[in-house]
Structure 1
């Protein structure tokens, strides 16, 4: 299966990422946007040519895709850009290895880098899904915060404070945001290929490292349901601490999230042309309020499961969350002038 031929897919004219955004992404992004110093930090690093260095690195070490170089992939890339109604064409590179199969970098003029070894394990449809996913990051303007996260991960624990912000707290919430952003971009990929099973098959390959044609999607979907329905509180706690320091949600969870979104009817509604557009203003204050409630419940429910047996790691992460939540609450009454 390769999904609907991309040339036959009508573009989603002026579609806003808010049309398909995952609630966790919306909440996390609102929280990040209430930290103006974080954006200042990232933009300052960009001024110091961090982004130019990355662009030079991939230009010098990777294969640049074009009409003359891997033209079928370039054609799919151009078609996916058209379908999401993005304003320009973005450079595409192949190299290996690439964490998470592919990455989008560069806040001013993003570039997409795809793992060529992974690409060989995918059919044409799954390749298009990867491109749609990465272009979802561009449409959602995720790239600035992806850059911030990469900088913080590279810094390790050597920076206890960043422009007055607690390092561990910022890193924790950026990781939480990135995992949520991945769920939104899986939805963007689904809109591009117009077949949720293709996106699920892409995630199955990511989980296994095997070629798509050797795998059984129905069995993987059943595995995802088994994982989602696992209800032991102590296991939920373990999952929380396994996931809290990784950039990508587990593939089985991502499959469940894609199918839950499709079953909600939101996917079909967008296909019918009923979606939010970029010229419709967002309610910034409402989104910030939702963000606070999202994080409060996120950590509250997990630590409720922990009960009396809080581990030292749990205490550290809880402290980090409390630090950032307190910092955001203190800024809550300052209005929009700081954002």
Structure 2
């Protein structure tokens, strides 16, 4: 089935806020409220870490173009046109056994896709990945993400533990929380660009399984995503929160569930029909800060309340057992 967008389909002037996930909006506002964080990010780039990271990619990868994987290169250009972006970053492919893609580079970003991703994914799924990366560029995620990649490459033995008065380990944790949220926004961008949310979910399923789509059933994966989202008690849900905290990307089943919940809300259809926020119409920073406080308060309050209920129930059961035993 051909799900390529119709000729001339373009989300003219679309603002990234139009498809921004509430968690992304909240996390971005939270980052902006950390004194000195932007100074730390700039310093990491000024110290040459970003140049070294870029050189490592460029020296061990192949730059794509009309004569190098032309189909993938053309899809890359198309997704940027669909998001009404004139400056198309260079696209590279690198030999790596994990299916992934990344966009890095302050000021002049580049998109890098791993060879395993191209091997596993079909044309539609590859376009979904490229559209996801284009969403990062439109949403201006690249500078923060570049800083996060630098900190992750440094590992736990950071040569400079503190910059600008901020401990880099804490900065890394904050950036990881933000990036997990940013990924949810860019899944929405991928759905809008491809006009096929199921292709995005199918991509997540393939990346999670490491197997080609012909051997997998999307309906079963989506049922699994629903079970993950709604199943288990408070303690289990709390454990998922702590599991997330150690990851740069949300778990694939959660991403699929979050995307389809948004699609079912009607927002996806409204944007595809041409009704969306445009660049220059975004609300002010004060409203964003309010959203941040509300989002994180609700997120943690619900989780700990559920966990507390589960602990209380377990305690009552233990007390009843002890009474009977006595």
TM-score between both structures, scaled by the size of structure 2: 0.89
Contact 1:4 1:194 in 2 (8 A): yes
DSSP 3-state at the match of 2:111? strand
Q: Deviations over 1:180-235 (max 9, x none)?
A: 10000000100111011100100000110001222111111111111112041111
CA, structure 1 residues 48+172, in 2 after alignment: closer, same or farther (shift >3 Å)? closer
- 2:295 is equivalent to residue 294 of structure 1: yes
Q: CA deviation at 1:168?
A: 4.4
DSSP 3-state at the match of 1:12? coil
Q: Deviations over 1:266-305 (max 9, x none)?
A: 0011111111111214211110121122223323333334
CA, structure 1 residues 193+13, in 2 after alignment: closer, same or farther (shift >3 Å)? same
Q: CA deviation at 1:251?
A: 0.6
* 1:102-251 map, 5 Å: 102-157=101-156, 158=158, 161-251=162-252
Mapped partners of 1:27, 1:108: distance in 2: 24
Q: Give 1:337's aligned residue.
A: none
- 2:275 is equivalent to residue 274 of structure 1: yes
- 2:49 is equivalent to residue 67 of structure 1: no
Mapped partners of 2:137, 2:169: distance in 1: 27
CA, structure 1 residues 57+168, in 2 after alignment: closer, same or farther (shift >3 Å)? closer
TM-score between both structures, scaled by the size of structure 1: 0.85
Larger radius of gyration: 2
What do you get for the CA RMSD once the two structures are aligned?
2.1
Q: Deviations over 1:225-278 (max 9, x none)?
A: 111120411111111111111001111111111111110110011111111111
Q: How many residues of Structure 1 are paired with residues of Structure 2 in the alignment?
A: 309
Q: CA deviation at 1:306?
A: 4.1
Contact 2:14 2:279 in 1 (8 A): yes
Q: CA deviation at 1:51?
A: 2.4
Contact 1:2 1:124 in 2 (8 A): no
Q: CA deviation at 1:77?
A: 0.6
Structure 1, unpaired ranges of 5+: 311-339
Q: Deviations over 1:294-339 (max 9, x none)?
A: 22332333333444999xxxxxxxxxxxxxxxxxxxxxxxxxxxxx
Contact 2:234 2:310 in 1 (8 A): no
Structure 2, unpaired ranges of 5+: 312-326
